[in-house]
Structure 1
Amino acid sequence: MTNRFFNFNRAAPDARSDVSFTRRLVSDCVVTVGVLALFGLIAWILPAIDAPVGPEGIPSTVSTDPSNLPYYALRSVFRMAIALFISLIFTFVYGLAAARSRRLGKILIPLLDILQSVPILGFLSATVTIWLALFPGSMMGVEAASIFAIFTSQAWNMTFAFYRSLQSEPKELDEAVRNLRLSHWQRFWVLDVPNSMIPLLWNMMMSVGGGWFFLTASEMISVNNRTYALPGIGSYVEAAAAEQQPDKIGWAILTMVIVVVAIDILVWKPLTAWAEKFRITQSESTEPKRSAVLTLIRQSHIDDLLARILRPLGQFLDWITRPLGRTGSKWGAKPSRRRAGDIVFAAIIGILVIAGTAELMISIARTTGLAELGTAFGLGSITFLRVALLTALCSIVWVPVGAIIGMNPKVSRLIQPLVQVLASFPANFIFPFVVMVFVLWNISINWGSILLMALGTQWYILFNVIAGASAIPDDLVEMTRNFHITGWMKWKTLILPAVFGSWVTGGITAAGGAWNASIVSEIVSYGHHTLVAKGLGSYIAEATAHAEGMKTIIGVTVMAIFVVAVNYLFWNPLERLAARRFNIA
């Protein structure tokens, strides 16, 4: 199973037979040099990550010398890569647990709503002390806190996408793996991961974009009246903005563009072209996606090497997971016992929720007073209106654009790289320039914050819609051509129903991302200018910066309540509608 999944060739293993020996040799050499260069860069960066803290303690700022930007960019990319890998593991474990266990799913999915609503500053204020205690006297503590913060900006939308793909697996394929009585490990690599590959890959791109968006908060950590700075392009921009040096911010933006384009060429283009092998369709696309890097890899022997390394590991994991049962086996207790278990399970969860809520209310009453809770709800209502308006406008604009990009290979080839670059570019890098415009034109940040939030969260909707449109079987598209279904009728009968579920997933993650983005969008600064919008995001940011722990808890709790309530009342019914009426499978 592992050999098949890690085979980069679309065709059979002998697809390289028509490639000359010289081209294969050159491909092997280039790939080998690339892999060695990658390991060399990692070996160069690693000693600095675990460097001891100097006599002056953890730095509170970084140098703004532009010559440091290449090194800072490498450090930032390294943190992003580690966080993305951890997010992928979390996605597989959490998504599988939520999809395969009925009882766990009732807890894990609402909990995921809460987790995606907790802003990065909320996680940092609660965990940075723990990370510093785990690695005393070492920069590893701050590095771990930064990577964890980036992880909290990446994992949730990937998990939602994977969970939804598990819930919408084609019935005939599910029956096939059950009839073959594959082990759960085999099913995971044969059906679960391949079926989710296209939407998961697009959400990974979006996760990287989200990580870049919060990079300044992750590398220049300001909590409990302390600031911890790590070498990175995000902390560089923060320091340059504090010193009112727009020329150095411009150098950082140029560096960031180079980094994003390089990642697109070396990582995302090959992966999106490779993922085409997992499309469920009766016919191959007439305009397959291409990538020079993927072609180079396919002409080399890297997939054979990976298969030889990973096959024994896959066989071992298959062997140790066999006692867990096979896909076709009959599990579970009798219906009467299941109902009794559900009642006990619900009672335990209810008691825990009531006890936790009571303890929180008592703590609030003793410290800030319950009136502070009302203040937070009022500010949350203002931020909620911004999020709702942003989500509606972004849906109107990006659903048709995403569908056109995803369905038209020629358009996708031209527009997709630009979209990936724009989405991966950290929008808050241009916040200092936006603040200057707001100040000069007397634009209220109460309205301007909506634009700032949109710069970082609109891509969740666009990327999910592109993924949904890309996964539409060519057979259905060909059928609409044969029946001469065009214009609005085609949109109403094929395109919109096909991307509806993807739009729901994008809407959930976009709304959650907008709540998170309010932290850095409702309070922005450049030099001596600081603009503060009235809302829950600025409330949490100010409480965290001034070490007001209870206010931070109140703000995060209220934000979680808003997100969970909206998801329960609005998004969850739409998810059920998508699964019931608009599932292509």
Structure 2
Amino acid sequence: MIQLPAGFHLRRDTLARSVVVRRSWPVFLDLCVAGLLLACFYAVVQIARYWNSTPRTDFAISLSPHALPMYAFFSIVRIGFAYVLSLAFALTYGYIAAYTPRLEGLMLACLDILQSIPVLSFLPGVMLAMVALVPGHQLGIEMGAIILIFTGQAWNIAYSFYASLKAIPRELTEAARIYNFSPMQRFFHLELPFATIGLIWNSMVSVAGGWFFLMACEMFILGSRDFRLPGLGSYLQTAAASGDFRAITYGLLTMIAIIVATDQLLWRPLIAWSDKFKFEQTESSNRVSSPLLHLLQHSSAIRHLQQRTLRPVSEFFYRTSYKRRAAQHLQPASNSKVQKVLRYIAAGLFIGIVLFAATHAIVLLREVQPRQIGMIFLGAGATFLRVFAALLIGSAWTIPAGVAIGLHPRLARIAQPLAQIAASVPATAVFPVLLLAIVKAGGGLGIGSIALMLLGTQWYILFNVIAGAIAIPSDLREVGRLFRFSTVEKWKVIILPSIFPYLITGLVTASGGAWNASIVAEYFRLKNQTLSTFGLGAQISAATDAGQFPVLLWATIVMALIVVTINRLLWRPIYRIAETRYRLSA
């Protein structure tokens, strides 16, 4: 029986309606979840049919707006698979690099090299290998496109996870050790939650990078073969090459609609959910909200799924892990010798593969003339100056803007979707308009290439700074208010030290992204014409189009050496400062 305060009256029909709404609303949510699962099942069936079909690389790309839904669907699937692959790689690679001191330096050097290699440099080997791996099916070509998109997404997520693991407060690590956490418990209850905020924001910029390089991954020339896959990237590249601004507008509007839907249905709930993982000792009064997350949290189907499936499965894995650790203490010492032998065998196989690849690479490099090598180094110098200018301009506005967005949830609700849209729209799609404006103003592709690099790489800095500002503990901000810090003092004492590890991660990935973006910034096709400016990116693009693999290999090696040298002499010492002086501790 419902007891109401004195003087308060509630009509019986009103009460009945409220009870019906409370009971029917979870049912509606469950029906929505069921409908979503059915839609996903139908999408999987359609993709399986397409991937199992006869391989084709010469699809005729239609510029009709009616073809956009199908193209958008294929592009979303490629980017989605590439992101899942990128996340799995980042978690594995970052974890091994952070907790294996003997391999840490080598793995970080490899990561520096991988993030600096342009997508088109991966293109010949990846595509030919995937086609040979899955002959007779479209799956091989699609796998090649997915891996190419992966090469534009994975590296900054791996850097973010590695940096988060190195910045875990010592008292949290000690608590996990005292409670005897297994590696799996430590990963899911300490390391992954602590890195969640950075992972989500870097995932957003990674997906944006996937959209940026989508045009290069869905439509390209490899020697005498013209690869064209059905997708939004190939649609936009075809429209840009033909100068059809109407088709470009349709394509961009479709992409913006996808980005807005992704923001509201995926990123906004994840940001609101990750707010609970902030490292703070006083609860913040400003919380990010998400209506969709609220609805999902009140879905009875999801609650039953968690209680009856996810929780028992996790407990089973924890028990298995505990039994395995207990058994390892009872195993004889001979097992450790067997493990050492297996490690030596694996290391020997790896070294043999590296030597085999290096021998063939040297044979290719000997085919390049000394004059061509000199031009490659000169082009590298020109591209270096453009990359430096793009980083300088990008940092000038992204640092204050990112801090403002991260510290003010109301502003973030408006600015974050806009930034996501701006970061995801391929600059190569809007570049024809921008290039024409620059030419009319008296500039050329030399200046335009800097603008295109800036459009493609400044978001790495912005999203990392936003993540760093969001992760600032509320108690530190309260201290600033209590002591009445001025704006300069807040930046000097609280903001800059707190966002410093995130800022360095953003700068490192933006630097690699700028070098990667040079392949499309310095070599551009417009109305069946090829516009280029002198630089290393233009040389890589031209060598890919002409099938000159020795020149492509030389240019890629030079670019990787430059990026690795910069990271070793500049970013790596700054990383050590971030790990020691600017590490959050209670």
Could you tell me the TM-score, scaled by structure 2's length?
A: 0.89
1:208 match: 207
SS in 1 for 2:490: helix
Distance 1:49 1:364 in 2: 34
CA offset at residue 443 of structure 1? 2.2
Q: Write out per-residue CA displacement over residues 539-570 of structure 1, whole angstroms, 9 at most, x where no aligned residue.
A: 00100111101111111101100110000011
Q: Write out per-residue CA displacement over residues 376-410 of structure 1, whole angstroms, 9 at most, x where no aligned residue.
A: 12211111111111112211211111011111222
**Shift in alpha-carbon separation, 1:114–1:316, aligned structure 2, 3 A:** farther
CA offset at residue 431 of structure 1? 1.9
**Shift in alpha-carbon separation, 1:306–1:519, aligned structure 2, 3 A:** farther
CA offset at residue 225 of structure 1? 2.7
CA contact (8 A) 2:365 2:553 kept: no
Matched to 1:52, the amino acid is T
Distance 2:365 2:473 in 1: 57
Deviates more, 1:282-291 or 1:398-407: 282-291
Matched to 1:34, the amino acid is L
CA contact (8 A) 1:184 1:322 kept: no
Q: Write out per-residue CA displacement over residues 195-222 of structure 1, whole angstroms, 9 at most, x where no aligned residue.
A: 0000000000000000000001111132
**Shift in alpha-carbon separation, 1:118–1:313, aligned structure 2, 3 A:** farther
**Shift in alpha-carbon separation, 1:420–1:241, aligned structure 2, 3 A:** closer
Distance 2:366 2:581 in 1: 50
1:459 match: 459
Deviates more, 1:462-471 or 1:101-110: 101-110
1:30 match: 32
Larger Cα Rg: Structure 1 or Structure 2? 2
Mapping 1:111-510, distance limit 5 Å: 111-301=110-300, 302-306=302-306, 308-319=308-319, 321-322=321-322, 325=325, 359=359, 362-363=362-363, 366-510=366-510
1:87 match: 86
Matched to 1:469, the amino acid is A
**Shift in alpha-carbon separation, 1:176–1:414, aligned structure 2, 3 A:** same
SS in 2 for 1:133: helix
CA contact (8 A) 2:280 2:474 kept: yes
CA contact (8 A) 1:436 1:526 kept: no
CA contact (8 A) 2:365 2:550 kept: no
Q: Write out per-residue CA displacement over residues 441-473 of structure 1, whole angstroms, 9 at most, x where no aligned residue.
A: 452111110000110110000000000010000
CA contact (8 A) 1:61 1:235 kept: no
CA offset at residue 371 of structure 1? 4.0
Q: Write out per-residue CA displacement over residues 514-540 of structure 1, whole angstroms, 9 at most, x where no aligned residue.
A: 000001111112113322011100100
**Shift in alpha-carbon separation, 1:111–1:325, aligned structure 2, 3 A:** farther
Deviates more, 1:76-85 or 1:361-370: 361-370
2:10 match: none
**Shift in alpha-carbon separation, 1:320–1:548, aligned structure 2, 3 A:** farther
Deviates more, 1:437-446 or 1:295-304: 437-446
Q: Write out per-residue CA displacement over residues 205-256 of structure 1, whole angstroms, 9 at most, x where no aligned residue.
A: 0000000000011111322231211110000111222333111111101111
Q: Write out per-residue CA displacement over residues 239-287 of structure 1, whole angstroms, 9 at most, x where no aligned residue.
A: 2223331111111011111111111111110110011111111222212
Distance 1:519 1:548 in 2: 15
SS in 2 for 1:524: strand
Q: Is 1:567 the counterpart of 2:567 in the alignment? A: yes
CA contact (8 A) 1:80 1:150 kept: yes
Q: Is 1:531 the counterpart of 2:524 in the alignment? A: no
**Shift in alpha-carbon separation, 1:462–1:573, aligned structure 2, 3 A:** same
Q: Write out per-residue CA displacement over residues 128-184 of structure 1, whole angstroms, 9 at most, x where no aligned residue.
A: 111111122221111001100111111000000000000010111100110111110
Distance 1:378 1:543 in 2: 16
Matched to 1:424, the amino acid is S
CA contact (8 A) 1:150 1:215 kept: yes
1:3 match: none
Matched to 1:190, the amino acid is H
Deviates more, 1:403-412 or 1:78-87: 403-412
Distance 1:115 1:391 in 2: 19
Distance 2:564 2:544 in 1: 22
SS in 1 for 2:366: helix
Matched to 2:83, the amino acid is L
SS in 2 for 1:143: helix
Matched to 2:32, the amino acid is V
SS in 2 for 1:289: coil
CA offset at residue 292 of structure 1? 1.4
**Shift in alpha-carbon separation, 1:536–1:322, aligned structure 2, 3 A:** farther
Aligned residue pair count: 550
Matched to 2:285, the amino acid is T
CA contact (8 A) 1:405 1:416 kept: yes
**Shift in alpha-carbon separation, 1:141–1:523, aligned structure 2, 3 A:** same
CA contact (8 A) 1:157 1:203 kept: yes
What root-mean-square deviation, in Å, do the aligned CA atoms of Structure 1 and Structure 2 show? 2.7
Distance 1:547 1:317 in 2: 50
CA contact (8 A) 2:168 2:584 kept: no
CA contact (8 A) 1:61 1:239 kept: no
Structure 1: runs of 5 or more not aligned:
1-16, 334-343
Structure 2: runs of 5 or more not aligned:
1-18, 334-343
SS in 1 for 2:289: coil
CA offset at residue 323 of structure 1? 7.3
2:15 match: none
**Shift in alpha-carbon separation, 1:307–1:149, aligned structure 2, 3 A:** farther
Deviates more, 1:230-239 or 1:294-303: 294-303
Distance 2:89 2:203 in 1: 13
Q: Write out per-residue CA displacement over residues 49-104 of structure 1, whole angstroms, 9 at most, x where no aligned residue.
A: 32213xxx531542222101011111101111111111111111111110111111
**Shift in alpha-carbon separation, 1:306–1:43, aligned structure 2, 3 A:** farther
SS in 2 for 1:367: coil
Matched to 1:203, the amino acid is N
**Shift in alpha-carbon separation, 1:307–1:218, aligned structure 2, 3 A:** farther
**Shift in alpha-carbon separation, 1:362–1:59, aligned structure 2, 3 A:** closer
Matched to 1:223, the amino acid is L
Distance 1:61 1:241 in 2: 15
Could you tell me the TM-score, scaled by structure 1's length?
A: 0.89
